[in-house]
Amino acid sequence: MTIDPEKNIHFSPTHRLQWEEAQQKDVILYPEGMVELNQSSAEILKLCNGSRKVEQIVEELERKFETTGLGNDINAFLEVALQNGWITQE
């Protein structure tokens, strides 16, 4: 399983991404489990709404944080997210 650059990325319909006030963190919730996210991971996942491909996610985050060269890190994180079932490309 690996990210297809030609396909849009969706956040998994069987997981939930949510801001937790008590923890001051974004978290992913799924059956009987929770993953705490750091800020950059959360920023990436929030853009996985089915309307963007990898390239567009990279562009948007580079624009937002006024930087370049985020491609490798974002790709690596998305691969992990895909392996964990947090995102899909179907």
Partner 1 sequence: MAGSHKSNITPPRWLLAELTYACPLQCPYCSNPLNYAKYPSELSTDDWKRVLTQARKMGAVQLGLSGGEPLVRKDLSELVKHARQLGYYSNLITSGYGLTEERIVELKQAGLDHIQVSIQASSQELNDHIAGTVSYEHKREVAHLVKKHGYPMVLCVVIHRENIHQMQQILEMAEELGADYLELANTQYYGWAHANRDLLLPTREQFEQAEAIAQAYKERVAGKMKIYYVVPDYYEDRPKACMNGWGTTFLTIAPDGVALPCHSARELPGLDCPNVNDYSIEAIWNESKAFNFFRGFDWMKEPCRSCDEKEKDFGGCRCQAYLLTGDMYNTDPVCSKSPNRHVVQEAIDSAKSASLVPGEKPLIFRNSKNSRDFA
Binding site for partner 1 (CB under 8 A): 1, 13-16, 18, 20, 22-23, 27, 29-34, 83, 85
Q: Number of helices (H) and strands (E), helices first, in the chain?
A: 3, 5
Neighbours of 74 (CB within 10 A): 21
- Six-digit token pair at 59? 């562009």
Q: State the minimum distance, in angstroms, from the CB of residue 52 to partner 1.
A: 23
Give min distance, CB of 7 to partner 1, in A.
16
Our CB check for partner 1 shows the closer of 25 and 53 to be: 25
Residue nearer to partner 1 on the CB measure, 55 or 85: 85
Residue among 37, 21, 51 at smallest CA distance from 86: 37
Q: Cβ of residue 41: shortest distance to partner 1, in angstroms?
A: 18
Q: Could you tell me if 77 and 41 are in contact, meaning their C-beta atoms sit under 8 angstroms apart? A: yes
